[in-house]
Amino acid sequence: MGVIRMRRYLPALAAVALIAVLSANTATTYPVGRIRTDKGEILFYLYPQTPNHMASFIKLANGHYWDSLTFNRVIKNFVAQGGCPDTPAGFKDSPYNLAPEFVPDLRHVYGAVGAGRDDNPQKLSAGCQFYIVVNKDGLKRLDGNYVVYGQVIKGMDVVEAIVSVPTDSTDTPLTPIPLTVSVVQMTAAQIEATGFKMK
């Protein structure tokens, strides 16, 4: 009798299993920036509250824009900055600028990812230039002046290693730190499993 009863339930069990698989495959995912270096991997959540900066990052990452570039400015207890070289006249070869998207509750806390820029009066972000805050007290003086559009969720030990390398007088690493930048998709559960609370 047990075998017969089990056969009756098999179609229902199969349906439940199929629903579970379909649900898993259709779970909402979110774009996460991934930077691979010879020091390790960095993952950071991209804030939907800054849609233009998020879209720009995804566009350049998918186009492999950064894959021949480096972390060109690293300062312990300040930032690890990369994406395109600085020059006295401003950013070199930025593909475009972005209008600022200042969001009051996105602050320059430890691990914040921001958009670099020159001293233009409109505070336009350079499309190519990004930085990661490496000051555990945050950098409040940058709030409202530079756009925060992401937050590191894994790999701050890697960022700390990057800002600890020997540099020259312009804060450029003596040994280049190349970037391989991409975007991966993660579910809310995967993101929050890192300890980060999505906003």
Domains of the chain: 29-192 (2.40.100.10)
Quick: pLDDT tens for 104-152: 999 999 999 999 998 889 999 998 899 999 999 999 999 999 999 999 9
Distance CA 73, CA 82 (A): 7
Residue pair 83/134 in contact (Cβ under 8 Å)? The answer is no
Quick: pLDDT tens for 143-167: 999 999 999 999 999 999 999 999 9
Q: Which of helix, strand or coil describes residue 58?
A: helix
Quick: pLDDT tens for 7-48: 454 444 444 444 444 445 568 999 999 999 999 999 999 999
Average pLDDT, the chain: 87
* Residue environment code for 92-111, b if the CB has 16+ CB neighbours within 10 A, otherwise e: eebeebbebbeeeebbbbbb
